[in-house]
Structure 1
Amino acid sequence: MSQYRAIRGMVDILPDDTPLWQMLEQTASDVLGAHGYQEIRTPIVESTDLFARSIGEVTDIVEKEMYSFPDRNDESLSLRPEGTASTVRAMVQHNLIQSPQRVWYRGPMFRYERPQKGRQRQFHQLGVEAFGIATPDLDAELLLMCRQWWKRLGIDDVLTLELNTIGSGEARQRYKAALTDYLRGHFDALDDDSQRRLDTNPLRILDTKSESTQAVLKGAPSMSTFLDDESRAHHDRLCELLSLAGLSFVPNPNLVRGLDYYNKTVFEWTTDKLGAQATVCGGGRYDAMVSQFGGRDTAGCGFAAGLERLILLLQALDVEASADPDLYIISSDENALGKAMLEADRIRSEFPTLNVVQHLGGGSFKSQFKRADKSGAAWAMVFGEEEVAQGTVTLKPLRSRDEQMTLDREGLNKFLAQLEALAQDVEE
């Protein structure tokens, strides 16, 4: 039989890698919870029309990248390519937008792209969405919240905030018309992808990587000249708030983001540590989206972070997260094993933050100690015939030069309390 393999572009995350993922996600959960954001979980599969309507029918995602299929009722369904549309749909469906709402989500997304480092067909996002607040202080909170996350991860010094405003929908349409007219006069100088986008999504030409097209864009109309007064005031106040908070940013007039639903603020967090896949997080405002889905007119703003790219960045910076056990329990025989299992269960109940692994499957002391050492455990806890007879345990250090010790129940509890306190200090 041929060996089954994962589908191309859909990658297994193996046990050695998951501690870093768990640290990344838990850190985000802590930051978001501290800001009053609640988790929401939406289905992976939605109506195809949901994404076509929100993302834009002529975007690359809808035209070429979605995993879409008919169900048995011949309704077109799609694996979600992003999380905002599903979140807005849930808010409207369950009538939650009666007052300001702050939510976040995480999970797999799907796009049929060419797999490469930092870009997979199944990828994971952690997203944040806030509704019912139209003022720029919300935009500022989201960006400051990102900075809190980066600081806790230890990566804030390698990330740059790029910021722009694309104005109201009406202002953007006026600018799009002017940009299209200008680019048509330089059509032959555009790269093939930009020539195709000229009739479908001309704003995306602004963030092209083609040097020849970038040269053409230097003479293009500026988006800032088409901004409406409200959007300009919104952006100026946001910049003021960020400056007051000491959050530096780089103005990027060509930043538009790839989804049609954005208006006013758009932003990206980028790094120079990952090559071509420089953007690790991006977002902005989408004030018309809720009403587009049948809800009442409600402002919205949010962002999504690509977890695979953040993991790559953490690895590039040699950030580690360990899931090594605190204790590895070794038993001499079946009688000792029974005693050890009871004691292991007690320790897990009374000292719940300690990571305790018990050796199962038998074997000599030598082989068990090899397993204990390989596990990365700090201490081996030994239940031999003598320990069982005397009601004690022997603790052997595996990662330090501490002395081996034999302890009764009272002494063991004091040791475990100290070990637990030390582990908590290290986490903090």
Structure 2
Amino acid sequence: MIRKVRGTEDIFDLQPEQALVDVIRKTFVQHNFSEISLPLFESTDLFARSLGTSTDVVSKEMYTFAPAGGESISLRPESTASTVRAFLEAKIQELPWKVFTYGPMFRHERPQKGRWRQFNQCSIESIGSKSIIEDALFIRMLYQLFAQKLNLENFKLQINWLGTIEDREQFKKTLLQFLEPHQEKICDTCQTRLTKNILRIFDCKSKDCQKIYATAPRLTDSLSEESEQAWNKIQSLLKELQISFLINPSLVRGLDYYSGIVFEFSSDLLGAQSAFCGGGRYELSSQLDGGETPSMGAAIGIGRLLMIQEAEAKMLSVEKKELIAILPLSKDQHEAAMNIYTQLIDANIKTELVLNKKSIKSLFKKADALQAHSVVILGEDEVTTNSYVLKNMKTGDQKTYSINDLILAIKQ
């Protein structure tokens, strides 16, 4: 037997996810964001230039292939790069361009709880957003989504400030000096990051490394006066908006395009992979041959958010239409049953036609397995008189109707 690929899922009940995404969509639309659809794969160069060749995503985790005679293509590991590419390609002029997208992403990671190789994500971007007030309102929108719209309790918001390029360059020198006497003690991955992307050492999960980094200098101690004022301002605005947050100096996010404010929503209910939403301010369009366009964005991991909802017993439900099953008692009534089926469907009634059963008992057994609310029974007498028996499967009550009255009775 051929089994599903490791790190993927077969999901048979989509209603919890559909209900969750519906709430997210309505929240973003309320804040005047528009939904867009983007390709599942892009030029590999798009991700290499935007995310950074030294990031784990580009260097280890992308699904990349080259069609015969074609350029290198990669399944999208995230959607911010694709959104900015679409923004530039369409030559969008009206700013900020406020959009969101929902769909599958792909990363060749080690599967574990809360980590899949194909996973659904909802990403939201405000391209051309310049104001720090817009940053604060963006974070508030997400906080209110989780705390009020979804009524979640077990989560926290962590923030940090990555400053400007100049701030980070100054900090890298300070950090490198701090790490010199510790180089032999840190792991091989961090050894590599020292030369390729030193800020990524803070992403390391090694307890030994984390013990060393706990006393490392903070990026926020290397800020220019202007950056420090902005950092203090965003904290002040979040407090004014009554948003609870923690400052995490080790929070750098895993991608190269971030600057300024970065944030992460996480929950202890998820275990080691605790983050379910993350984002921040970035400038990406200049890396893709566009003009400098400051932006703000975030991504929500739908699978992890569903795990929190389940752990808190707060799964959302979609209102279900009651199913009506049509039961022709013999083959002689199949054509009449087909006609009734089409009339109920055209009346916007959820309907199932049960055929190919050998006995009346098996017909009702099938209707019960379908969890039908009621059944329409069609025998020889019903076809002759154009009357239809509607039986409630829960109470056992039944009554005979004409077709018009049958539709009215079902809809009541």
> What's the TM-score once normalised by structure 1's chain length?
0.86
Deviation by residue 1:301-346 (Cα, 9 ceiling, x = unmatched): 1111122222333333442646674323322234544334333333
User: Is residue 2:300 matched to residue 1:305?
Assistant: yes
Q: Which amino acid aligns with 1:330?
A: L
Q: 1:138 aligns with which of 115, 118, 134?
A: 134
How many residue pairs get aligned? The number is 410
2:91 is equivalent to residue 95 of structure 1:
yes
C-alpha separation between the residues in 1 aligned to 2:141 and 2:17? Answer: 19
Within 5 A, what are the aligned runs for 1:10-159? Answer: 10-13=8-11, 16-73=12-69, 75-150=71-146, 154-159=150-155
Moved more, 69-78 or 131-140: 69-78
Cα offsets for 1:165-220 (capped at 9, x unmatched): 21112212221221122122222332333233222222122233322222212221
Rounded Cα–Cα distance in structure 1 between residues aligned with 2:350 and 2:148: 23
Instruction: Tell me what 2:343 maps to.
Output: 346
* Residue 178 of structure 1 pairs with residue 169 of structure 2: no
Between stretches 79-88 and 160-169, larger displacement belongs to 160-169
Which residue identity is paired with 1:376?
Q
Q: 1:365 to 1:402 in 2, by over 3 A?
A: closer
C-alpha separation in 2, matches of 1:236 and 1:346? 65
Structure 1 range deviating more: 45-54 or 209-218: 209-218
Matches within 5 A, 1:319-330: 319=315, 321=317, 325-330=322-327
| Structure 1 residues 185-204: aligned runs within 5 Å | 185-204=181-200
Alpha-carbon distance in 1 for matches of 2:225, 2:378: 76
Q: 1:264: Cα distance to partner?
A: 0.8
Q: Which amino acid aligns with 1:266?
A: V
Tell me the residue number matched to 1:366.
361
TM-superposed CA distance for 1:255, in Å, is 0.8
Q: How far apart, CA to CA, are the structure 1 residues paired with 2:376 and 2:32?
A: 42
Q: Which amino acid aligns with 1:80?
A: R
- Partner Cα distance (1:343, 1:62) in 2: 57
Aligned residue identity for 2:377: V
Paired amino acid for 2:347 = E
Task: Tell me if structure 2 keeps the 8 A contact 1:381–1:393.
Answer: yes
In 1, the alpha carbon distance for the partners of 2:345 and 2:232 equals 54
Q: In structure 2, do the counterparts of structure 1 residues 156 and 372 end up closer, same or farther at CA, with 3 Å as the change threshold?
A: same
Contact 1:325 1:375 in 2 (8 A): no
Q: Pick the aligned partner of 1:278 from 274, 282, 294.
A: 274
Q: Which runs of 5+ in 1 are unaligned?
A: 419-428
Q: Distance in 2 between matches of 1:252 and 1:36?
A: 30
* Shift of residue 258, structure 1, vs aligned partner: 0.2
Partner SS for 2:153: helix
* Gap runs ≥5 in structure 2: none
Instruction: Choose the corresponding residue for 2:373, options 353, 375, 378.
Output: 378
Moved more, 147-156 or 303-312: 147-156
Residue number in structure 2 paired with 1:160: 156
Could you tell me which amino acid in structure 2 is paired with residue 53 of structure 1? R
Please name the residue that 1:256 is paired with. 252
TM-score, normalised on structure 2? 0.89
> Does 180-189 or 401-410 show the bigger shift?
401-410
Matching residue of 2:2: 4
Aligned-partner SS, 1:158: coil
C-alpha deviation, 1:51, in angstroms: 0.8
State percent identity of aligned pairs: 38
- Amino acid paired to 1:137: I
Answer yes or no: is the 8 Å Cα contact 1:284–1:303 preserved in 2: yes
